[in-house]
Amino acid sequence: MGLTVVGIGGSIRADSQSERALSVVLQGARLAGAETVAITGTALVLPFYDPAVDERGTVAHRLVHALREADGVVLVSPGYHGTVSGLVKNALDYVEDLRADPRPYLDGRAVGCVAMALGWQAAVTTLTALRSIVHALRGWPTPLGAALNSAEVSFDDHGAPSDPAVDRALRTIGEQVVRFAQDHRGTS
């Protein structure tokens, strides 16, 4: 049975820079042998998470189901005012629906984290926030994460980063998620 890596991120703007970064990370995961699922843009437009509401719409159900089946996860957020975007944070709040699962929350799963912002301060604090959220959800942030300054790196129309080092780093994050999932599967 193959491994599945679920990527969550981007913004409401179609084909955003953060969505392109997510695509490169997922390419790295595919090259390492995983199947990938990307949940981006309008697929992240969800009602505000409310734990008191049991009913989930189609979009929320797809997100929760994908995370439940995921062997690894990739999170990419734009940095808005120094932290994770509301769109990505609200999607992550839905992980609460996994609390009673045999693998609660993101337990035992590697999670690659990438932040993209206009400036280093927001990029770094957003990456730190993502890694903290992953810890709170019992996930294992990959050793390599990426804080990308959109004033210094961009993605072309084909999704390739302007800096080859960024391309290597993003692909490595995808590879690390898959390697951890493979190693963890052997010990579970």
Count of other CB atoms within 10 angstroms of residue 70: 25
Please state the domain count of the chain.
1
Q: Which residues form the domain of 15?
A: 4-187
pLDDT tens figures, 8-24: 998 888 879 999 999 99
At residue 60, what are phi and psi to the nearest 5 degrees?
-65, -40
- In this prediction, residue 25 carries a pLDDT of 98
- In this prediction, residue 14 carries a pLDDT of 80
| Angle, CA 154 vertex, CA 150 and CA 156 arms, to 5° | 160
Would you place residue 185 in the very low, low, confident or very high pLDDT band (cuts 50, 70, 90)? confident
> Comparing 187 with 160, which gets the higher pLDDT?
160
CATH number of the domain enclosing 36: 3.40.50.360
What tokens appear for 79 in the block? Answer: 């940095």
Q: Report the pLDDT averaged over residues 60-69.
A: 97
Return d(Cα 121, Cα 136) in angstroms, integer.
23
For the chain, what is the mean pLDDT? 95
Return d(Cα 21, Cα 129) in angstroms, integer.
18
